[in-house]
Amino acid sequence: MMPIYIAGMGCSIPKERLTNQELIKTLDTSEEWIEAHTGILERRRANTEVDTSDLGVDATRSALAAARWPREELELLICATCTPDTQVPSTAALIGRKLGIDPICFDLNAACSGFVFGLATAASMMAHMGFRRAALCNAEKFTKVTDYQDRRSAIFFGDSSATVLLERERPAVGFEIVDLALASCNEGTEYVQIPLGGYFVQDGRKVKDYALRHFYRSASEILERNDVRPKDLRAFVGHQANLRLLEQVVNRLGLSEEQHWSNVRWIGNQGSAGVITTFCTRVAQRATQLDKGDLFLLTVFGAGFTSGSVLLRWVGESQRTNQVARASELAVEPPSQAAAVAAGP
């Protein structure tokens, strides 16, 4: 595969918090039960007037600023989402309009696997159609499809967006896409659904069984194919479904707590956006600690069922500034420890 690189990242994380204490006011459950079963303490919620495309615009602007790219240089803009503003037009087109640009725009829906499926799609188009610079935006407003009277779903979801910028030329600081793996298991289509005009519903027990199996299979496949041992990874980031599920995956893969990056505890399940908001904010926090050649594994699982993994390699030198990634807020730690990223590198 022609080398494709991530040259910049940015994310948009709403400031409003929805805590377990607030949720139990209308749900027949307890704070202790929610934390014990999901590991989630709070979620982020965008204002009612904020659309999925607005979150996408904020994340894309942040990524463009991080990479110092003029927005007019984007030739391709893909929005991976399962909570679009409208069925027609695409959320990507709305993001393009709000940014005042006209790249090739379309949406992609692989449910919570949208980041890896979107990377594969963008990389293929860049390799075969000659696009030089592209943006993949993962934007989700799950709070608009969450039934807050349903304990089975209300405890999980939050809103966020993240954008990665892709180019064919190797950047001074960034990530190389080493390998991608995709899979589908379509016998599970009835277990996770958002009916048209309806709310998110799932069979949690069935989903967990499939998720554990396909998480491990996807991650193991790409590691074995590239002769990489789990201990060789700088970090692993999984779909931010819930912390308890991720802990089981990490333990089965034999990864350390230090290698496991997550933000679901403080932002909730963000659909396709969670894996990349986690990666974006952690890279921004730890950019000066990264070494050339560091490997990162991102593995996802979503409705359908879909699953996938991407292996990334850091191509910057040690002690670089955090110009590759910017976040509106680093919400990967408890609120008292959250930090803001500077507007300039």
Active site residues: 112, 239, 269
Supply the DSSP string of 234-302, one letter for each residue.
Answer: EEEEE--S-HHHHHHHHHHHT--TTTEE--HHHH-B-GGGHHHHHHHHHHHHHGGG--TT-EEEEEEEE
CB atoms within 10 A of CB 20: 20
How far from the centroid of its chain's Cα atoms is residue 30's Cα? 28
What do you get for the CA distance between the two ends of the chain, in Å? 31
Residue 57's closest CA among 26, 24, 29, 85?
A: 85
Distance CA 138, CA 335 (A): 24
**Residue 231, class by beta-carbon neighbours within 10 Å (0-12 exposed, 13-18 middle, 19+ buried)?**
exposed
- Cα distances from 205 to residues 152, 160, 187, 202, 220, in angstroms, run 11, 26, 15, 9, 23
